[in-house]
Structure 1
Amino acid sequence: MLRWASYPFVRITLGFIAGILLYFSFGEQLGHGLWMLAFSFLAFILAAILSRKYKTAFATDVAGMAGLLTFLALGYSATHANIELNQPQHLAHLPTPSTHYKGVVSDYVLQKPGYQRTVLQVEQVRVNGKWQAATGKVQLSVPHDSERAYEVSYGDVLLVRGAPQEVAPPLNPGQFNYKAFLANKNIHHQHYLRPLQYQQISSSPPNPILYHSILLRRQMDNILREGVGEKREYAISSALILGVKDELDNSIRQAYADTGTMHVLAVSGLHVGLVYGVLMFLLARIGSTDRQRWLGAILMLGVLWLYAFITGLSPSVMRAVLMFSLVTVGIALRRRTVVYNTIAFAALVLLYINPFNLLEVGFQLSFLAVLGIVYLQPRLSRIWEIPNRALNWLWLSLTVSVAAQVATTPLSLYYFHQFPVYFWVANILVVPAATLVLWSGMAALAFSWVPGLGWLLFQVHFWLIWAMNAFNLWVQRWPQAIITGVDISAWQTWLLYLLLFVFILFLALKKLRYLSIAVGLVAILSVQQVWKEMQQRQQRQLVVYSVRSGTSIGLVQGQQAMLVADSAFLQNQQSYTFNVQPHLWQSGVAAPTQVSFASPAAPAVLLPDSNQLLVWQGQRWLILSKPPKLQPKPGFAVDYVLLRQNVRVKPERLQQYTFSKLILDGSSAPWYRQRLHQQLDTLGIPYYDVAESGAFELEL
């Protein structure tokens, strides 16, 4: 039986998380939560007084429950207070769009091809010719068309002309919900700026510590860029040491993702743990007097927070540094700390600062990985006792990797829909290699000013990265290196974690009832999957996807699909992965057949005027990409007409055809579609614009 007395912070944090989830479930239906917090706190004070007076187990339990309810109410009210959209002066509540707005750059500046992206904290807006105070965050995309490394910097106060737009929801089924992702960061607007549409008027960093941290990280990044030289190796070096992933190309990202080693490219708990582990090894040789112990702890804390400062005080590093700092202080105090309390306290602090951390994928995966390593790794390592030190070190590395993977697999399947088969092989070598890359890079940065020595250290650093990349690319080419297309629901994810928890209970307590529960959960998951596949085999669907500057039509029948698209889309793998692939995976289609409109394999007839007539499953679609020159015969009817590529056609001419609705796809320019909207509205022709309303889905 679990004894809660030793885990006070675990109980408190779980109560706080319950309050956050309560707010996410009911929103403002329960108010801002202050009345709930006041009531539960008063109930806790009263229960605590009564428990001290009567000293019974029941009174103590009541006081404990009241305390947990207080933290639940605190989580609820903290979440409400953190949502900027609740403020009356927020941008979302403006009666009319602004003509200008002013704010300060409050986030890192990310390099993108041709532009840079950051976040502007709005301070004032100009509405109806008058300036007024306002709040809200705007994601800015600034064109990068000068020789300067950064067009804007953290702390710049900008004057912007125009009005920001609300972030658009996902336009395709199953597509990543970028609107919700930004909303979790209190960002509800974005603005794609043109040159000369903004002006820097001053500099006022909201956080001076973060400002100097970013400046230092930029200086370190410039030294790495010059010292490493080659673009691919420099990109890995900057990502692994400083957390700057702007220069990583998609092929190398994919290689690390396919081998299950992507975590080494994001400065996180792993990197802080590597720094902590080496320091602990060095400090273990120092004496154990109180003074020496505290000097070691101060040195450890100084190095950890210096590393966080160098890496730009990113949230992932702050999580780990906070956790290891608590462990360090506990060791200095000679307190026998329970590691679960340390983890829970770190989570509580981070969630109190920003309750939306709970919805961050990185936050969820990092804490699950730590819990997996803390609980599972010691038990896995005891399965095989190896006397040889080198082999034992490899075995311990393997058990750490397996423990972290087991704890994070259900969530990884839910978010990323793939499973790296050879993660255990890759991590055995990549994690130690990343350790050497990290320390060689830090040494190269520290001694870059020393002639000869700095060059030598950068050479060692470069070849370590080259070898690590070569190994990952090699493993990526192994047969069946990755299982893709896995699609599970949030409910199935919870069931998988419940199954894992129950199975662990069975192994720990050796009670048959837990195994019976596990078998029952497997049966539920199996029935769900069978039912899902039965539905997928009966589906027939035609989808016109919303893709920028392109046309893509999905013809789904059962668990097979054909994708009919233009050549521009077929050559853009990134657009397919982002816009189309999630829906096909949801439909049980692993790899669709991709054909162009001109391909003989496409179910389309080429008409004499170079347009096409698509015929599939009883549907007839007239696809116009050229001015129509054929006069339809009497009685000729199609189900839909699709206009592509800014086709020159008068809406009056379309009235000659018999169809149920006109479809506009993303291959036509915005000006063309807007002009056509007005003409179609005037003539009363029904239409659907996938670029504005999202993918057109037709169930057959």
Structure 2
Amino acid sequence: MIAAYKGKFPAALLLIPLMTGIGCALAFPDEDRSIALIPFVVLSIVFASLNFFYRPLNVYKYGWLGGVLILSILFTSGWYLIYQRNELHQPDHFSKQKAGELLVNITSEPKVKDDLVRFTAEVVAAVKNDKLHQTSGTILITIKDELANNLFYGEQLLIPAKYDKVEPPYNPGEFNYKQYLAHKNIYYQAYLYPKQYRVVDAGKGNPAISFALDIRQRLVNKLKSNMRDTTAIAVASTLILGYKTDLSNDVMQAYSKTGTIHILSVSGGHVAILLALLSFLLGFMNHPRTKVTRAIMIILVIWAYALLTGFSPAVNRAALMITLVIAGKTYSRHISNLNILAVSAFVLLLYDPYLLTDVGFQLSYLAVAGLVVFQPIIYQWFTFKNKAADKLWMVSSVSIAAQVATFPLSAYYFHQFPVYFLLSNLLIIIPVAVIMYSGLTFLLLPQIPFVSKTLGYILEKSILLMNKMLVVIEQAPYASFGKIWITKTEFILLNIIIGLVFYCIYKKSKGALFASLIGVLIFSCGISLKKFKADNTNLVTFLNLRKHQGIVFKHGSKGVVLTDLPQNDKNFQYAIQPCLDSLQITTYEVLPFSSTISINYLLKKDALVWFRNKKLLLLNDSSRFKSIPADMLIDKAYLSNNTAPDTTLANVPLIIDGTNSKVYIEHLKQDGKKYALLKRNKALVLLSN
């Protein structure tokens, strides 16, 4: 409640420079640690000296000096934390040593998807000439082998020292997987096949994590033995235990489009339900002599649950906040929710500064900040005398506050907005409560034939009912606005506008109103200008699809995609669809390369393509077109499937895609032809205005 926060927020003020330092270090990485370390040491010495010589130097006359120094120290410490945390800066990183084999410890629960097993591993030693050399660093390992399904956390493997750098995004709008992994200190990956790895030891992981993973797997198996529907089992495992391996993309999409994806990520709401259950069960210990014991028991169970669900940023935030709140109430201390929120973020960022880049961390803290700051303002918009109506509006105000606070971030990362989020969240309140309470009771109790089956039945039917409601909302007209692509500048501006609007409502400030209107005007002009530019742009994009082919012809908001991929293929959804959305192509056709096309901006007959003022030749193993007239000027020739270019194309620049072999590409290089290679390179874009 803002009205109650008339004091200052020291923790929040300390958090801002730390976050700024971390952000600057991420935006401007540098190999020289002295850039952050030297200023940090100098500022710390100055601060200590001023405190020691406080009176002789009359420092009290400059009250602002201490604050400036503290903020500067926190800024430089944030910068240095990022440098220190980066594994590539360690002198013994495995990538800096030549070796024949690597000794690695599995550091994450192996996940099985399709016929692949993927996990992260710590490289503890490099094997060279039968000698072990100590190393450090994390590597992502993917194994295509049925036997790999039996690998577990903490096992030690011997693998060949053959690994590659994680590749950057090659196509417009494509997810930056390289950056995502880099923020988890993973820069290299290895692909292994049968007989390329060997288990040499076990029990090399953290004993507590090993125990938690083992317990979680037993609980998942317990769910499977007492429930029938596979979808319900997957949702229950995800919602209660944070086990997402069995969750399908269709279910994820239904929750995402209805604005309820947050319930599939174990977070503060789940921890709050557990807290309510524990408070009820331990209610008899509310005596002054036992309240400390009660608080310790609740805190231990909360952190045990956080461990069981994988220590996600949202759970860590909730567990740490609840720990501070319980400790404060136990000793009758005044509690400021905003300060506690800032303290929890401060502690977590000191532990791992890369958490600032985690989407779950960002969404979790923004949602709670929205509840603390925005919800009281929204709740005051309407007053109801009826208790049921007032309760309904209070719940609605919570959902609106969280959605408003997280909307810019959701639009930036996920490019969509769920229109019926309020209805969806209101409808799932009861099912989620039933699922959590029945699920937790079911998992805490031992296997009792009648009781376990009954609880499993309630759990299954509650999940299926909730899924049906969400599917109905998902399929409703205008259920979500998709293809929202905003830049970082627009994202920042949108947050500023939201903050100014709520400040204006709370303070009745004309200045804030005027500033917010200016912000809306600038934002609208920027979006309109971007839309105008997109609608008047014509271009051809030759995509890098590795072993597949793809060309996008954009004519304003219309487009044609030539590809050998079906539209429902995961490679299409990963690489081509984001390209279409980011280029603001709203109407398009997906056609095979053998198609004949005749529309106002694109003509294609066999291998010849006319697009505006560009003439292209698409050559593959099925092309009947083998040569061109001498007077026909071809701008580019696109080669795929090792198709040999005709002698008439001697002076035509070539575009060579990833379907061509290394031997073929080397042959073209030796011939001295002009070419652009798509393999391991960014997509080639040709403007045609």
Once structures 1 and 2 are overlaid, which stretch shifts more, 196-205 or 287-296? 287-296
Aligned partner letter, 2:20: A
Aligned partner letter, 1:654: D
Aligned partner letter, 1:675: V
Give the Cα–Cα distance (whole angstroms) in 2 for the partners of residues 163 and 673 of structure 1: 21
| Structure 1 partner of 2:144 | 143
| Structure 1 partner of 2:345 | 347
CA contact (8 A) 2:102 2:123 kept: yes
CA contact (8 A) 1:142 1:151 kept: no
Shift of 1:185: 0.5
CA change 1:290–1:59 in 2 (3 A) is: farther
| Structure 2 partner of 1:683 | 671
Q: Secondary structure at the match of 1:103?
A: strand
Q: How does 1:632-651 map to 2 (within 5 A)?
A: 632-644=628-640, 646-647=641-642, 649=643, 651=644
Shift of 1:253: 0.9
Q: 1:497 aligns with which of 471, 492, 495?
A: 495
What do residues 643-668 of structure 1 show as CA deviations (whole Å, max 9, x unaligned)? 23x25x4x4x53332553222334x2
Give the Cα–Cα distance (whole angstroms) in 1 for the partners of residues 391 and 471 of structure 2: 24
Q: 2:588 aligns with which of 582, 589, 592?
A: 592
What do residues 23-46 of structure 1 show as CA deviations (whole Å, max 9, x unaligned)? 224433562633222222222223
Give the Cα–Cα distance (whole angstroms) in 1 for the partners of residues 517 and 685 of structure 2: 38
Once structures 1 and 2 are overlaid, which stretch shifts more, 627-636 or 228-237? 627-636
CA change 1:293–1:379 in 2 (3 A) is: farther
Shift of 1:524: 1.3
CA contact (8 A) 1:286 1:292 kept: no
What do residues 332-380 of structure 1 show as CA deviations (whole Å, max 9, x unaligned)? 1110111111111110111011101111111111000000011222232
Q: How does 1:145-294 map to 2 (within 5 A)?
A: 145-146=146-147, 150-280=149-279, 286=284, 289-294=287-292
Give the Cα–Cα distance (whole angstroms) in 1 for the partners of residues 245 and 646 of structure 2: 47
Once structures 1 and 2 are overlaid, which stretch shifts more, 31-40 or 111-120? 31-40
Give the Cα–Cα distance (whole angstroms) in 2 for the partners of residues 240 and 58 of structure 1: 56
| Structure 2 partner of 1:545 | 543
Shift of 1:289: 4.2
CA contact (8 A) 1:417 1:487 kept: yes
| Structure 2 partner of 1:87 | 90
Give the Cα–Cα distance (whole angstroms) in 1 for the partners of residues 213 and 277 of structure 2: 26
Shift of 1:119: 0.6
Shift of 1:631: 4.4
Aligned partner letter, 2:664: L
Give the Cα–Cα distance (whole angstroms) in 2 for the partners of residues 380 and 558 of structure 1: 41
Give the Cα–Cα distance (whole angstroms) in 2 for the partners of residues 71 and 273 of structure 1: 32
What do residues 542-581 of structure 1 show as CA deviations (whole Å, max 9, x unaligned)? 0111224332211112222222223xx1343432332123
Q: 2:573 aligns with which of 571, 577, 586?
A: 577
| Structure 2 partner of 1:615 | 610
Q: How does 1:51-450 map to 2 (within 5 A)?
A: 58-94=61-97, 96=98, 98-127=99-128, 131-146=132-147, 150-280=149-279, 286=284, 289-450=287-448
Shift of 1:628: 5.7
| Structure 1 partner of 2:620 | 625
| Structure 2 partner of 1:655 | 647
Q: 1:13 aligns with which of 9, 12, 15?
A: 15
Shift of 1:144: 4.3
Output the TM-score relative to the length of structure 1: 0.92
Aligned partner letter, 1:27: P
| Structure 2 partner of 1:527 | 525
Give the Cα–Cα distance (whole angstroms) in 1 for the partners of residues 269 and 159 of structure 2: 40
Q: CA RMSD in A?
A: 2.4
Q: Secondary structure at the match of 1:122?
A: strand
Q: 1:43 aligns with which of 42, 46, 61?
A: 46
Give the Cα–Cα distance (whole angstroms) in 1 for the partners of residues 559 and 54 of structure 2: 66
CA change 1:320–1:253 in 2 (3 A) is: same
Q: Secondary structure at the match of 1:42?
A: helix
What do residues 471-500 of structure 1 show as CA deviations (whole Å, max 9, x unaligned)? 110100110001011111101111111111
Give the Cα–Cα distance (whole angstroms) in 2 for the partners of residues 529 and 605 of structure 1: 34
CA contact (8 A) 1:448 1:455 kept: no
Output the TM-score relative to the length of structure 2: 0.93
The answer for unaligned runs of 5 or more in structure 2 is none
CA contact (8 A) 2:651 2:674 kept: no
| Structure 2 partner of 1:664 | 656
Give the Cα–Cα distance (whole angstroms) in 2 for the partners of residues 570 and 296 of structure 1: 58
The answer for unaligned runs of 5 or more in structure 1 is none
Aligned partner letter, 2:663: R
Give the Cα–Cα distance (whole angstroms) in 2 for the partners of residues 67 and 620 of structure 1: 63
